[in-house]
Amino acid sequence: MFGLGSKNIGIDLGTANTLVYMEGKGIVLREPSVVAKNTQTGEVISVGSEAKEMIGRTPGTIRAIRPMKDGVIADYDTTAAMLKYFMEKTVGNSKPAVMICVPSGVTEVEKRAVIDAARVAGAREAYVIEEPFAAAIGAGLPVMDPTGSMVVDIGGGTTDVATISLGGIVSSRSTRQAGDKFNSSISSYIHQKFNLLIGERTAEDIKIQIGSASVEKAKEIESMNIRGRDLITGLPKSVDVNAVDVAEAIQEVVQDIIVAIKETLEETSPEIAADVIDHGIVLTGGGALLKNLSEVISEATKVPVFIAQDPLDCVAIGTGESLKNIEVMRRAHK
Ligand SMILES: Nc1ncnc2c1ncn2[C@@H]1O[C@H](COP(=O)(O)OP(=O)(O)OP(=O)(O)O)[C@@H](O)[C@H]1O
Ligand SMILES: [Mg+2]
């Protein structure tokens, strides 16, 4: 039989993190989507957590690269090298069938690039699944039932909003307003207010520690001491950052996500809208963990909002669960 003896895998190839789900085992790898390379030889020096530690700290000869941007492949060779490393780490030399996610609404070319990269990395065959659909499966939503569900997956590169019913996406939106935008809004705010340059990692730390989707609720959060480089003196400097200011800095991104949710709701049939009111909206992806986000979305849409259990794992679980349908996909691709 095809593939006997090797386990098939599902991959959540994300802008921020890559996860691998192995049939019968569950999630076997969680690593940042980062590759450190020698700038002269192009040789891969490290991949994943070790490479992420290097971001912003590399000498001229090494570059830490995030090969995925806005949910799609920005650097093809580096993405393939990264996938190869993660696949070798989890399945060794076997050539598994792979189910891999792409954001909703990507082009055929972008889809093809993901499939090719998986093949180059060692997949015997590769199929794609839309990220919000995988997220909904991973969050335990009844995607196959004749009832409408809504999922909002807030990752590093994209926020994918979708309503799902009877095994398919009914309406969806994908916007680049997600985790990375929260970080860059925080960096520009710090730059403007304190004339201080901070790294990507520091901006992310600020978001995770004191970031709040609600300006009002941010008043209850303590300020945070951070360090960066003073743009005027050129010297290191530390300042206290206020949570209310951070909440204001990221408001635009929060509001854009809410607009995407409202637009997706407006496009659905009254029946599905009614189902969503009954069952609520489910948030997945790392961005779902932003403080007070579920409350703010709920207030704006007048619909109950829940955070999925283990939001960072939902897409990977969904790709893994979909491996069961690989026979059907094989036939469809013949
Ligand atoms: N506690 C937290 N609060 C706010 N944001 C968080 C938190 N924990 C993680 N994040 C953010 O979640 C994002 C990563 O989420 P996730 O792993 O779901 O993204 P991804 O799947 O790699 O990206 P994409 O789906 O867009 O390609 C990062 O931007 C990270 O900073
Ligand atoms: Mg994702």
Q: Using DSSP, state whether 322 is helix, strand or coil.
A: helix
Backbone angles phi, psi at 239, to 5 degrees: -135, 160
**How far is it between the farthest Cα atoms of the chain?**
68
Burial track 251-289 (b if 16+ CB lie within 10 A, e otherwise): eebbebbbebbeebbeebeeebbebbbebbbbbbbbbbb
Q: Looking at residue 1, what is its pLDDT?
A: 39
Q: How many Å lie between the centroid of ligand 1 and the Cα of residue 183?
A: 11
Question: Measuring CA to CA, how many Å separate 155 from each of 51, 221, 314?
Answer: 20, 24, 11
Q: Residue with the nearest Cα to atom 10 of ligand 1?
A: 286
Residue ranges of the chain with per-residue pLDDT less than 50: 1-4
Q: Whose CA is nearest to atom 11 of ligand 1?
A: 286
Cβ of 48 closer than 6 Å to ligand 1, yes or no, is: no
Helix (H) or strand (E) holding 125: strand 125-130
What is the value of pTM for the model shown? 0.95
Q: How far is CA 58 from CA 54, 65, 137, in A?
A: 6, 11, 39
- The 3 state secondary structure assigned to 21-79 is EECCCEEEEEEECCEEEECCCCCEEEECHHHHHHCCCCCCCEEEECCEECCEECCHHHH
CA distance 119 to 300: 43
Helices (H), 62-196: 76-91, 108-120, 131-138, 179-194
Cβ of residue 132 lying under 6 Å from some atom of ligand 1: no
Distance of CA 155 from the midpoint of ligand 2 (Å):
5
Residue 14 main-chain phi, psi, to 5 deg: -105, 165
- Residues facing 151 on adjacent strands: 162, 282
Q: How far is the CA of 156 from the centre of ligand 2 (A)?
A: 7
178 lines ligand 1 (CB under 6 A): yes
Residues with CB under 5 A from ligand 2 (ion): 14, 155, 315
| Residue 71 CB–ligand 1 contact under 6 Å | yes
Show the tokens assigned to 213.
């989707």
CATH 3.30.420.40 region(s) of the chain?
Answer: 9-133+314-333, 142-307
- List the one residue out of 245, 170, 175, 260 whose CA is nearest residue 215: 245
> CATH for 9-133+314-333?
3.30.420.40
Mean pLDDT, all residues of the chain: 95
Give the model's pLDDT for residue 160: 96
Digit-coded pLDDT (tens) for 91-102: 999 999 999 999
- Of 127, 172, 174, 169, which is closest to residue 144 (Cα–Cα)? 169
Binding residues for ATP: 15-17, 156-158, 204-207, 286-289
- Tell me if 323 CB under 6 Å of ligand 1: no
Write down the pLDDT at residue 91.
Answer: 95
Q: What is the pLDDT of residue 334?
A: 67
User: Beta 125-130 vs 97-102: how paired, if at all?
Assistant: parallel
- CB of 208 within 6 A of ligand 1: the answer is yes
Judge contact between 169 and 130, C-beta under 8 A.
Answer: yes
Place of tokens 């990269």: 117
Tell me, in angstroms, the distance from the centre of ligand 2 to residue 100's CA: 11
For residue 56, what pLDDT is reported? 83
Ligand 1 close to Cβ of residue 32 (< 6 A): no
Residue type, 290: L
Measured from the alpha carbon of residue 287, the closest ligand is 1
pLDDT at 44 (0 to 100): 95
* CATH numeric code, 142-307: 3.30.420.40
Q: Are 100 and 119 in contact (CB under 8 A)?
A: no
